[in-house]
Every structure is written in C-alpha cells, then in structure tokens.
C-alpha cells in the first residue's frame, strides 16, 4: 500500500500568545484522492493548507509528504505546488513564461520545458493563448493558467486554495466538473480548500470539516452528509433540522412537549439530552386521514410557510416545540400541496434521523 | 466614480474657471521666464529681438560650467546610492518584521517633513564636529566639498525613495512572491524575476525624485560646501541675490526645461508600466457577480 | 505582510516544535534587519547623530572669536529665544506660514476636486500638467517671480502703462507670500487629489438619495472623508513655509526678517552656533506640535 500523500500529526499553529489558528490536527490524506478541507471563514483550513505548502510553519507537529517529514523546509524545497485564490499569475510574463517558471527554476532542459508546457497547455485547452499576458485573459482562463503552471511540475500533491471563488456560478459549476475529471486523469493527490459545501460534496472523494481550528469530522461525502457526528457539521452541510430531545430508552426519546418518538440506537443513555438531526428531504407531510407507514414517527403539524423552488417545495411547519421544522417535498407531477395554516402530520422513519451527541 | 452626479452644472463651471486660473498661475511665470531668456537686450524689460546670445554666454562662463559639472556629479552619485539604500529600506519595512522596525519607520519619515534649513544646520554641525574629532585623533583635516555635499544629498533622499518604492510595493499582490517560492525559486531568484520587475516603476520614480531633490537643493548644499566646490543652484542663488541678469534667465530656463523633460520621461514610463501586479480587487466585489450562497 | 519563511535547514527535517518555530521566526527577523542595515546605519549616522549634535550645541557657549566652545553648558541660547526680537520674527514667520497654508488650501481644494471629478483620461492629463511645475527646479520657479515682480518686470510695466506708479511688489512681504504660495501649491494639490480620488463617491450619491443638497452633502460627506488629504497637504505646506529660506531671500526685503534667514545668519554672518542651534530646535519643536495638532484635528472630523 502506498504511503499516504500527506500526513499531519498533532499540528498546532499559534500566532502570538492568544490566537490559535489550528489546534492539534491529525489528518491523513490518501495518495491519489481528491480531498477537501471544508469550513467557514476563519476555521483554519487555509492556514492548514499553507502549512502543508510551507508558507507557514506549524508551531508544533509533523507534516509528512509521502512519508518524508517536511519540518521547516521552505516551499521551494517541497514537492508540492499551489493554485492560489487570486491565481497569482506573474503579470509581466506571458502564459508560456508563467507555466514554464517552475521548470526553469529547476533548470530543466529547454526542449523538455517546451514539450511539457505545450502538453499541459493542451490539457487545459489554452494552447492558442500561449503568448498572451494574464491581463488579456478572462477569469476562467487565468484560473486554467494557474492550474497548468502548477501541474506542469508534476508535483506529488497539488494544493488548491478556493480557486473558483472569483468565477460566476455557471463557470464555477463547469470548472468543478473539469477539475474533478482532470484530477482523475492526472492521478495526483488534490487538496482543495473551500467554504462552499456544495462544491466539496460534489468534487471530493473525502471531506474534512473544520471549525475554530479543529478538525471535526473526516469522511466520504455521503458519510458527512448523512451521518454528521457533531451539531456543527450537521448544521454546516446542507439544510438540517436540529431537535433537542431527552432519551428515555435505548431507542426512544421525548421531545420538549413530552411527546415520545422513535430514534435510532446510538449509545446514548436514558436521561441524556441529545440532538436529533433530520434532513428536510427525509421528512414528509401526510393528510390527517392518510395511512401512515408502520413504525414511523408522527407529529401533528401546522404549515406556517410554503416556498417554491422550482424543483422542490419547502415547508415550514410548527409542531409545538418552539422552533419550526423544515420539510422538503419534491415537485412531482400530481404532488399534493399544503396551504399555509393547514394541519397535517409530519412523518419520518426513526432510522432517517441522526443522533448527535455533542 | 461617477463624475456627473456629484457636482451640479453651475458649481462645475465655477470649479472649472478656478482650475484654469490655477493653471494660469502655475505656468505664466514659467512661460514668461522662458520668453525673457530669448530676449537679446540686456535690459530684461525691454524686448528687442529673440536670440540665443545669452545661452552662448552661459556656455562660455567657466563658473557656470563648473557649477553644472559639480551638480551633475553629485546628483549622479547621490541618486544611485540613495535609490539602492532607499529601495532596500522599503523592502525591509514592508515585508519583514524585526526589532527596531518601529523606530526605523519613524526615523525614515523624519527627513521628509523636516525643513531644509534645519537639515542644513544639522549637517553643518555634524561635519564640523566629525572633522574636528578626526583631526584630533589622526591629524587628517578633511574639508567640506563635493564629498560632504553628496553625503548630505543621500541623507535626505533615502527617505523619499523609500516612501515611493514602499507605496508601489504595498500595492503588489504578495501572493506573487509566494507563488514564485512555490515554483521552486530561491529568495534571490524570486526577487530578481518577480518582485524587482514589478516594483521597477516605483524604483524609477524614487530615483527621479532623488535626482530632482539633488539638483534642486540650495540651503543644505550651501552649508556643507566648501570653497571652490559649488553646485549650479547655489551658484545661481548667489547671482540672483545680486540682481536679475539675462544670463541668469538663460541658465534658469535651461534648468527648467531639463527638469521638465525629466519629469515628462518619467511620467511617461510610469503610465506605461501601469498597474502590473496590483492586488486583485476586493473579493467581496468580485463575489457580487457570483451568487451561490 | 511577511515574505515566505526561510528555514534554518537541518540535515534531516524533524517535526516542528515551538522552539524550532521560534528559531525560524528569528532567522526571518534577522534577515529583515540585515536588509534594512544600510539605511539604518546611514540614517542614524547622518540624521539622528546630527540632530543630537544640534541639541548639544544649543547648550554650548560662543567664545569671543565666534567659535563654539563645548564647555560652560548653559541655557543662554534658550533664554534668548524669549526676547522680543525672536518673538517678532517667530510671529511673523508663523503668520506667514499660516496664511500661505490657508491660501493654498482655498485654491487647491476646488482645484483638486475639479480634477478628481473628471474622466480618468482627462484626470491623468491634468495631473501631468500639475506635476510638471511641481518637479521643476524650485529656485528657478521662485526666481521667475523676481523677474515678474521687479520694477522692470511686466507687472510694473502694466501699471505704468495704465498711467499709475510702477507697483513695487518686490522685496515686500506680499511678494514672499506669492512666492511661497506659488512654490508650495502643488504640495497641497497632490495629497488633496489623492484623498479625493480614493474616496468612495457612492457615499455622496447615498447622501443625495437621502435628501441632502449639493452643499450639505459636500459638508457632511466629502469634506470629512477628504480630511486626511487636507491634513497631509497642510503639513506639507506649513512646515516648509515656516522654515522658508530661499523664497524670502530672493523675494523678501531686508527689513522683514523671517525665521529661515535668521537661523542661517547665525551660522554664516553672526556666527552664533549655539543660538542658531537653539533656534533650529525651537522651530522643530513648533513643527512637531503643528504636525500633532493637524493630525488630531484631522482625526476628530472623521
């Protein structure tokens, strides 16, 4: 089995005496995978990326790339390349000169440089603009130049710091697909930093969710979305309903209103206060006289708001626990709509919920 | 920036008139002086015929030529030295953190706001004292001359160069230097191939400023120069105090035109280099277009 | 903003510890200090030391031959600062500097405003035209006024032609004022322009949207926001005006002595270096006060 591409052990970064940007991070990123570091602004994901690249040193801890300890090595001695958020293309050089920069620094032979630059420009479809200056290119093209400039050096790991942030929505979505495909073809490990959870979910093999300098959960996209292990992760990814309940059995709990519902077995003791995390799409509204599937939870609800999103309907319903519950219903032909003020049953399968213990 | 909505028509017209008046005020003396220098008559107020007579006289005047030569020598050396030192200062202050940085930052700005009379006094006393001590210690009596003038010019030029270069440096996207390092460039390579080309307009601007300050200086030079070594502005200043002559007009015009040409060249270069490598726009503004979350 | 860190390169890298990180930070620091060293040394030697020397000299004595004797430290020079003559000269210079600054401000602000509200291309062109006199030789520009204001200059000619007396403006205080305003006007224009250009004009639009008329939106939005420019420009005009030497020497009269010439004469003619040093220091002190005052006043309006 190949060594992991990047291994962070006990990595902490302190600025001065009081600011802790990253706290005791342990993370293993596998060879050849597309890994995303996801979190809100200030969570430490960019700092972590910079420590892998060498632009910052950890205050303590170990950063290993394919088994080699990086220690205090400066970025120009690490087998890693970065695609910057601002692209950082050298404005006084042409596209070709930009892309060839790293190879020239490593004193690669001229004909070899020409060959590799031509090949990578072809890969990102910019061969026609080889002699242009960055200022003459659109945002999307600049982004591809930045990518080419990094990839041409065949690094062991490629770091990407929110590279799609400056692009408009359609272009961004197109680039997401392109990047994912590129990574698959090239086979290099990609470490991708973003605050956009949609982006992370669609592109990544695995995601690491960070908040306040800590790594909260690492796993495949499906795991992160469907089985969040903390309140923060549950809330950060997608829409979620978070309901506080008190356990009163191994698989049942009481709501604040006293009503009892079924919950998945989760290792929580009776009497514990836990949070139930429910995705809106796992909830359904039933008519008061409709038959409800066996074993499902059922709560009396009153619709307080209905929003139309084209492909789905969002309902806010009041079940008497103080906060409203969000329900997502697919807009199928012939779907039954509920009006504001109407009463219905809120129904879900106990297994569809997640017990979040924090 | 929207120009139209900010000022009403009538206000704008008044502002325009004021602007024209100011421009007139700024340029009329210069134009008049140039005109007078071509007046053949030695009486400056009686206009005879245009001629180059006084320019000819100027080139034959040994004192003027000597002073000019001295000015150029001093300007040349002081510009080079102060540009190099000033650029290094700007880089150190802008890109590094070290003990004593605050103090240096403060000291570096002082020469800019201190009036030249004070500077002249400071340096006069300094050289006097230092030469005196040297004489006592090793018996060598140094004198004021082109050396002290050059050293003095460097002293007040460093700060100006540093301010100009620093302004340019702070506009530079510093991820460019990180990108260079990411692409295997050593510190020196990154500086030579990325930073330096991009701050070149700033360095050139600083050099021009140093050159102008040196060629312009009167008081400091007067105080630290010795017998026989005088610069053109100091010499002209001495002449002027004795009265207006057409010779002075000619010399002045030449100095004026020379400095204007210098400015024109440098401004042309600066506009040409334009906005290379500036920091990207505020990400918030860019995100205005992309509305995902 | 710090540059990418440089490592103290060990043979085989080890996991980082706080001590190692600290060492790396210090190495970086040392590098910065090294780069700043030439400037540091030069400025300390040829600026700070001379400054200190002036301070020292202000307490020295002047012997009978006019030489400075670094003994018998006393406060005589400083006491002399409080005599009537000095007050007179100081007051005159102060008033002149203030009037110069105010006049420059009054004309430069509309001027800078005008330029800042033109289209970018016109703006650049106008700026070039402002820069040219700014960079031209200061001595020559002042000399031009000597020619113009002289009894044989065009102004006198005009008044003669109109049948009156030739106006003798030369060697009077107004002449010095004109010369100072002329010399330092660009120093006021450029910072003002910079501040106005940097301003977010959408704020003015917002004020208009909230029912403010032109004058009010200027008073409450534009003026306060351009204060940094006003402060910077004022300092850049006031300080050189206070210590002006060349301009009064060329355009002023023997009767109205100003600070610049007074100080210079202590070192050339009168040969009283201690007194001259005390004067210089007093002037510097006043300028420092003025700078602080301007900054505070500017900050208050923000």
Domain assignment present for B84? yes
More confidently predicted of C12 and A191:
A191
The three-state secondary structure class of C182 is helix
Nearest to B292 among A76, A81, A169 (CB): A169
The pLDDT, as a whole number, for residue B6 is: 52
The pLDDT, as a whole number, for residue B286 is: 35
CB contact under 8 A, B182 and A76: yes
Domain assignment present for C72? no
Tell whether the model's pLDDT for residue B289 goes beyond 60. no
Same-domain status, B47 and B67: no
Q: How confident is the model at residue B282 (pLDDT cuts 50, 70, 90)?
A: very low
Which of the residues B168, B176, B183, B276 would you substitute to probe the A interface, choosing the one with the greatest number of A C-beta atoms within 10 Å?
A: B183
Structure tokens at B37: 């220098």
Q: Is C248 on the interface with B (CB under 8 A)?
A: no
Report the mean per-residue pLDDT for chain C: 84
Between B200-204, C47-51, C131-135, the lowest mean confidence (pLDDT) is in: C131-135
The pLDDT, as a whole number, for residue A258 is: 83
Domain assignment present for B82? yes
Percent of chain C at pLDDT > 90 equals 27
Same-domain status, C164 and C251: yes
Same-domain status, B18 and B150: no
Same-domain status, B270 and B166: yes
Closest CA to C143 of B56, B45, B46, B245: B245
Distance CA C40, CA A62 (A): 38
The pLDDT, as a whole number, for residue B31 is: 85
Q: How confident is the model at residue C2 (pLDDT cuts 50, 70, 90)?
A: low
Tell whether the model's pLDDT for residue B194 goes beyond 90. yes
Which of the residues C9, C12, C13, C26 would you substitute to probe the A interface, choosing the one with the greatest number of A C-beta atoms within 10 Å?
A: C13
The pLDDT, as a whole number, for residue A18 is: 85
A59 CA: distance to closest CA in chain C (Å): 5
Number of domains in chain C: 2
* pLDDT tens, residue by residue, B233-263: 999 898 888 776 777 888 888 888 888 787 7
Average pLDDT of B157-180?
91
Number of other CB atoms surrounding residue A311 within 10 Å: 7
Same-domain status, B143 and B179: yes
Tell whether the model's pLDDT for residue A181 goes beyond 70. yes
Average pLDDT of B258-282?
64
Report the mean per-residue pLDDT for chain B: 82
Distance CA B18, CA B16 (A): 5
Domain assignment present for C214? yes
Q: Which residue of A has its CA nearest to B276?
A: A91
Same-domain status, C108 and C250: yes
CB contact under 8 A, B116 and C208: no
C29 CA: distance to closest CA in chain A (Å): 15
**By residue range, what is the domain housing residue C20?**
1-57
Domain assignment present for B268? yes
Kindly state the DSSP code that residue C62 receives in the 8-state scheme. Answer: E
* pLDDT tens, residue by residue, A145-161: 999 999 999 999 999 99
* pLDDT tens, residue by residue, A19-29: 999 999 999 99
Q: Which residue of C has its CA nearest to B264?
A: C132
Same-domain status, B120 and B176: yes
Tell whether the model's pLDDT for residue B84 goes beyond 70. yes
Q: Which helix H or strand E contains C88, and what residues bound it?
A: helix C84-116
Same-domain status, B39 and B174: no
What residues of chain A lie within 8 A of the CB of B172, using their CB? none
The three-state secondary structure class of C136 is coil
The pLDDT, as a whole number, for residue A137 is: 93
Average pLDDT of A242-267?
85
* pLDDT tens, residue by residue, A78-111: 999 999 999 999 999 999 999 999 999 999 999 9
Distance CA C226, CA C221 (A): 9
Domain assignment present for B279? no
The pLDDT, as a whole number, for residue A35 is: 96
Q: Which residue of A has its CA nearest to B291?
A: A169
A88 CA: distance to closest CA in chain C (Å): 14
The pLDDT, as a whole number, for residue A57 is: 93
Domain assignment present for B3? no
* pLDDT tens, residue by residue, C60-109: 887 776 676 777 777 888 888 888 888 999 999 999 999 999 999 999 99
Domains defined for chain A, CATH in brackets:
6-233 (3.40.50.300), 243-356 (2.40.50.100)
Which of the residues B95, B182, B280 would you substitute to probe the A interface, choosing the one with the greatest number of A C-beta atoms within 10 Å?
A: B182
Percent of chain C at pLDDT > 70 equals 87
The pLDDT, as a whole number, for residue B292 is: 32
**By residue range, what is the domain housing residue B199?**
63-274
- Which chains reach chain C with 3 or more Cβ–Cβ distances below 8 angstroms? A, B
Same-domain status, C14 and C106: no
CB contact under 8 A, A72 and C18: no
Tell whether the model's pLDDT for residue C155 goes beyond 80. no
CATH number at residue B69: 1.10.3720.10
Same-domain status, B228 and B266: yes
What residues of chain B lie within 8 A of the CB of C205, using their CB? 2, 5-6
Same-domain status, B217 and B95: yes
Domain assignment present for C98? yes
Domain assignment present for B236? yes
Phi, psi of C286 (to 5 degrees): -60, -40
- Chain B 107-136, CB below 8 Å of chain C: which residues? 107-108, 110-111, 113-118, 120-126, 129
Give the best-scoring range by mean pLDDT among B39-48, B68-77, B224-233, C250-259: B68-77
Same-domain status, C90 and C186: yes
What residues of chain C lie within 8 A of the CB of B155, using their CB? 42-43, 46-47
More confidently predicted of B77 and C2:
B77
Domain assignment present for B286? no
Same-domain status, B39 and B78: no
Same-domain status, C85 and C224: yes
Number of domains in chain B: 2
Same-domain status, B100 and B171: yes
How much is the pTM?
0.83
Same-domain status, B127 and B104: yes
Percent of chain A at pLDDT > 70 equals 99
Domain assignment present for C65? no
Domain assignment present for B5? no
Domain assignment present for C282? yes
Same-domain status, C152 and C262: yes
CATH number at residue C115: 1.10.3720.10
Q: Is A251 on the interface with C (CB under 8 A)?
A: no
What residues of chain C lie within 8 A of the CB of B116, using their CB? 240, 243, 245
Residues 6+ apart with CB under 8 A from C267: B121, B124, B223, C273, C276
Q: How confident is the model at residue B100 (pLDDT cuts 50, 70, 90)?
A: confident
Beta bridge partners, A35, equal A191, A206
Q: How confident is the model at residue A211 (pLDDT cuts 50, 70, 90)?
A: very high
A303 CA: distance to closest CA in chain C (Å): 40
Q: How far is CA A70 from CA A51, A73, A127, C131, in A?
A: 10, 6, 35, 53
Same-domain status, B161 and B237: yes
Q: Which helix H or strand E contains C68, and what residues bound it?
A: strand C68-69
Average pLDDT of A50-55?
95
What residues of chain A lie within 8 A of the CB of B286, using their CB? 165-166
């Amino acid at each position: 089995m190949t060594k992991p591409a990047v291994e962070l052990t006990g990595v902490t970064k302190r600025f001065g005496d009081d600011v802790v940007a990253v706290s005791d991070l342990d993370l293993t990123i596998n060879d050849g995978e597309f890994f995303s570091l996801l979190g809100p602004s200030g969570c430490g994901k960019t700092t972590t990326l910079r420590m892998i690249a060498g632009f910052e040193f950890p205050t303590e801890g170990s950063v290993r790339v394919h088994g080699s300890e990086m220690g205090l090595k400066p970025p120009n001695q690490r087998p890693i390349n970065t695609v910057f958020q601002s692209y950082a293309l050298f404005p006084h050089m042409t596209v070709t000169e930009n892309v060839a920069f790293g190879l020239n620094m490593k004193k690669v032979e001229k004909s070899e440089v020409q060959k590799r630059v031509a090949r990578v420009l072809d890969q990102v479809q910019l061969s026609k603009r080889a002699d242009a200056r960055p200022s003459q290119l659109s945002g999307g093209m600049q982004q591809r130049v930045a990518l080419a400039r990094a990839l041409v050096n065949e690094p062991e790991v490629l770091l990407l710091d929110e590279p799609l942030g400056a692009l408009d929505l359609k272009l961004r979505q197109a680039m997401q697909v392109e990047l994912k495909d590129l990574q698959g073809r090239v086979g290099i490990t990609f470490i991708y930093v973003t605050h956009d959870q949609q982006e992370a979910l669609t592109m990544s093999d695995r995601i690491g969710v960070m908040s306040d300098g800590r790594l909260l959960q690492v796993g495949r996209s499906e795991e992160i979305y469907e089985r969040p292990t903390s309140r923060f992760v549950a809330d950060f990814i997608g829409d979620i309903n978070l309901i506080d309940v008190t356990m009163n059995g191994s698989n049942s709990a009481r709501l604040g209103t006293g009503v009892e519902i079924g919950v998945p077995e989760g290792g929580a003791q009776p009497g514990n206060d836990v949070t139930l995390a429910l995705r809106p799409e796992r909830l359904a509204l039933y008519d008061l006289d409709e038959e409800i599937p066996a074993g499902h939870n059922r709560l009396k609800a009153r619709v307080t708001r209905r929003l139309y999103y084209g492909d789905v309907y969002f309902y806010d319903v009041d079940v008497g626990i103080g906060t409203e519950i969000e329900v997502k219903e697919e807009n199928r032909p012939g779907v039954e709509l509920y009006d504001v003020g109407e009463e219905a049953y809120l129904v879900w399968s106990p297994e569809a919920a997640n017990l979040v213990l924090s | 920036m929207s120009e139209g909505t900010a000022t009403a028509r009538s206000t704008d017209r008044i502002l325009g008139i004021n602007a024209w008046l100011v421009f007139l005020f700024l340029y009329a003396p210069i134009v008049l002086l140039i005109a007078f220098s071509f007046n053949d008559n030695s009486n400056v107020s009686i206009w005879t015929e245009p001629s180059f007579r006084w320019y000819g006289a100027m080139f034959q005047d040994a004192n003027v030529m000597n002073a000019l030569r001295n000015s150029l020598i001093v300007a040349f050396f002081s510009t080079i030295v102060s540009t190099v030192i000033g650029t290094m200062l700007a880089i150190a202050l802008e890109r590094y953190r070290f003990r004593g940085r605050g103090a240096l930052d403060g000291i570096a700005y002082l020469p800019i706001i201190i009036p030249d009379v004070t500077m002249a006094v400071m340096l006069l006393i300094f050289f006097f004292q230092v030469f005196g001590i040297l004489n006592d210690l090793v018996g060598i009596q140094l004198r004021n001359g082109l050396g002290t003038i050059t050293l003095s010019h460097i002293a007040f030029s460093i700060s100006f160069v540093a301010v100009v270069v620093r302004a340019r440096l702070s506009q530079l996207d510093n991820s460019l230097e990180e990108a260079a390092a990411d692409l295997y460039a050593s510190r020196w390579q990154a500086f030579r191939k990325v930073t330096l080309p991009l701050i070149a307009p700033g360095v050139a601007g600083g050099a021009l400023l140093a050159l102008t300050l040196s060629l312009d200086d009167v008081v400091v030079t007067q105080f630290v120069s010795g017998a026989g070594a005088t610069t053109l502005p100091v010499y002209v200043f001495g002449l002027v105090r004795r009265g207006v002559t057409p010779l002075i007009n000619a010399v002045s015009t030449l100095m004026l035109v020379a400095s204007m040409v210098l400015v024109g060249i440098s401004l042309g270069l600066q506009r040409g280099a334009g906005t290379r490598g500036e920091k990207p726009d505020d990400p918030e503004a860019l995100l205005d277009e992309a509305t995902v979350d | 903003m710090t540059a990418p860190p440089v490592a103290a390169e060990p043979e085989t890298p080890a996991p980082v510890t706080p001590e190692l990180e600290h060492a790396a930070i210090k190495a970086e620091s040392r590098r910065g200090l090294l780069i700043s060293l030439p400037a540091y040394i030069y400025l300390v030697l040829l600026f700070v030391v001379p400054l200190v020397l002036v301070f020292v000299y202000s307490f020295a004595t002047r012997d009978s031959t006019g030489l400075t004797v670094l003994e018998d430290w006393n406060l005589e020079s400083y006491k002399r600062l409080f005599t009537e003559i000095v007050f007179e000269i100081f007051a005159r210079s102060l008033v002149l500097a203030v009037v110069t600054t105010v006049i420059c401000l009054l004309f430069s602000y509309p001027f800078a405003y005008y330029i800042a509200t033109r289209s970018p291309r016109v703006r650049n062109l106008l700026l070039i035209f402002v820069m040219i006199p700014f960079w031209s030789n200061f001595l020559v520009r002042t000399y031009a006024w000597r020619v113009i204001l002289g009894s044989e200059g065009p102004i006198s000619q005009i008044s003669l032609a109109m049948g009156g007396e030739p106006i003798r403006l030369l060697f009077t205080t107004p002449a010095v004022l004109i010369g100072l305003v002329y010399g330092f006007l660009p120093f006021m224009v450029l910072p003002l322009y910079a501040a106005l250009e940097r301003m977010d004009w959408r704020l003015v639009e917002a004020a208009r949207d909230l029912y403010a008329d032109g004058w009010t939106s200027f008073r409450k939005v534009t003026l306060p926001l351009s204060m940094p420019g006003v402060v910077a420009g004022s300092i850049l005009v006031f300080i050189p005006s206070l210590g002006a030497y060349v301009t009064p020497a060329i355009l002023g009269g023997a009767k109205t002595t100003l600070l610049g010439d007074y100080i210079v004469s202590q070192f050339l003619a009168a040969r009283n270096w201690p007194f001259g040093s005390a004067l210089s220091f007093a002037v510097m002190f006043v300028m420092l006060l003025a700078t602080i005052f301007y900054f505070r006043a500017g900050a208050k309006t923000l």
